Amino acid sequence: CSLSVDPILDFEELQELFGEPLMETIKQKGYQKPTLVQAQTLPVALSGHDVLVTAATGQGKTLSYIWPLVVHILDQPHFAAGETGPIALVLVPTRELAQQVFQQAKIMLKPVGGSAKAVIGGQGKYLLHQELKKHGGVELVVATPGRFLDVCSDGKKGLSLQRVTVVVLDEADKMLQMGFEAQVRQILSSLRRDRQTLMLSATMGKVEKLGKEWLAA
């Protein structure tokens, strides 16, 4: 991202924006200072701008977008009757990564009353639909591209793209390598044009080219 912003070097700078419940969870989990990736990503993501981040695993990249997603979700109106959500969508290349991201999202959303769901292969769609109905929707979904499209294709029973206002493409380079480009394109083309998009990748190359296409100028 070419936007010039000052990095966030201390979580105390986010006290007002994050609120006490989220700040307390961050402290309980032992996060003392933002990592380099978090320090640079948080101010841009929290301002609502699109972001293209180069980051390898183990640099705290997941929380660099989970925290802004929590703030974004809290700023949105509650679901109307019959709405399933999500508000925030995280697309990842593998089931294993989806589970990891889901666990972190769940931990950060729980103290503020938000909900998360992993949508991956091996789950029965009927059970997913029943769960959504029971809980009145879900604010954040972590999914592999193909499975998400499969669930959305069920119309009113499944998840909806109507309320998605922020989307994350995590390990975007790996999604391209695994042949998910067409599915990602299909999902992005179905989302509202004023959404916020965050892309994270260990390498650039084709990801940088697609970033120019998929991210706002």
**Rounded to two decimals, what is the model's pTM?**
0.91
Answer whether 117's CB lies under 8 Å from 148's CB. Answer: no
Beta bridge partners of 88: 140, 166
Which pLDDT score, from 0 to 100, does residue 209 have? 75
| Residues contacting residue 132 through CB under 8 Å, at least 6 positions apart | 84, 85, 117, 138, 159
Residue ranges covered by each domain of the chain: 48-214
Answer whether 114's CB lies under 8 Å from 139's CB. Answer: yes
pLDDT tens digits, one per residue of 53-109: 887 777 899 999 999 999 999 999 988 877 888 999 999 999 999 999 999 999 999
Answer whether 72's CB lies under 8 Å from 98's CB. Answer: no
Read off φ and ψ for residue 58, nearest 5 degrees: 95, 5
Whole-angstrom distance, CA of residue 145 vs CA of residue 103: 18
More confident: 125 or 61? 61
Whole-angstrom distance, CA of residue 198 vs CA of residue 92: 12
**What kind of fold does domain 48-214 have according to CATH?**
Rossmann fold (3.40.50)
